[in-house]
Amino acid sequence: MALALLLTLLWAAPAHSHPHAWIDLQVSAVFNDEGHITQLRQAWLMDPFYSTFLLDDMAQDASGDTQEEQLDSIARQIIKNLRDYHYFTEIHHGDTAIQDARAENPRLVQKQRRLELSFTLSFEQPLDPADAPLKYAVFDPTYFIEILHAESGGIHLEGGSERCDMDLRIPRPDPAMVARAAMLDFDQQGDPNMGKHFAERVTIECSR
């Protein structure tokens, strides 16, 4: 099944590269009373073109009598198909890769001309950012979709103390990689690892 185009997660079309779709990302790191991170809540606001495509085709591909039910059906299908790819989310606690996070509560809502997919990634065990920093990146491996944090409210520490800091590192891909991505057309296959070179990377750490 394709990794790239978010919509092909529903229809299993071939994967392509270069950013031909865009997502504004919001992430909330949720802390428990012990100061450990238990969840990453995500909201993906899709660009108008692909939002329109989904709205035009969801009636024949989604179950439900109302638009809300159909949107929820599509959200569940997207999350199901993203499961094998860790929901496009790379997470580390220190040097340890976290690959057991499970997605819950998928929703798809319409915001004017755009669709927003939201879901929660819950960890099997709470992660202590005072023991080791929590690092995450959200990206399409093929870079067909560009996923960047929203300029306003892109990252939120929900329940985190004043002793916690967040750092967002802007990608600085090699110029040769930028040129390589720019040469790829809509219907061309790209490097399945291209997206990591263009990914924003966030570090959350706390002091005791």
CA distance 151 to 148: 9
Q: What is the pLDDT of residues 101-140, one digit of tens each?
A: 999 999 999 998 899 999 999 999 999 999 999 999 999 9
Rounded percentage of the chain residues whose pLDDT exceeds 70:
86
Q: What pTM was computed for the model?
A: 0.87
CA distance 115 to 48: 8
Q: Which residue has the higher pLDDT, 185 or 165?
A: 165
Q: Residue 10 above 50 pLDDT?
A: no
* pLDDT at site 151: 93
CA distance 51 to 104: 22
Share the mean pLDDT of the chain. 86
Q: Residue 57 above 80 pLDDT?
A: no
Rounded percentage of the chain residues whose pLDDT exceeds 90:
59
CA distance 208 to 127: 14
Q: Which of 13-17, 46-50, 140-144, 184-188 has the lowest mean pLDDT?
A: 13-17
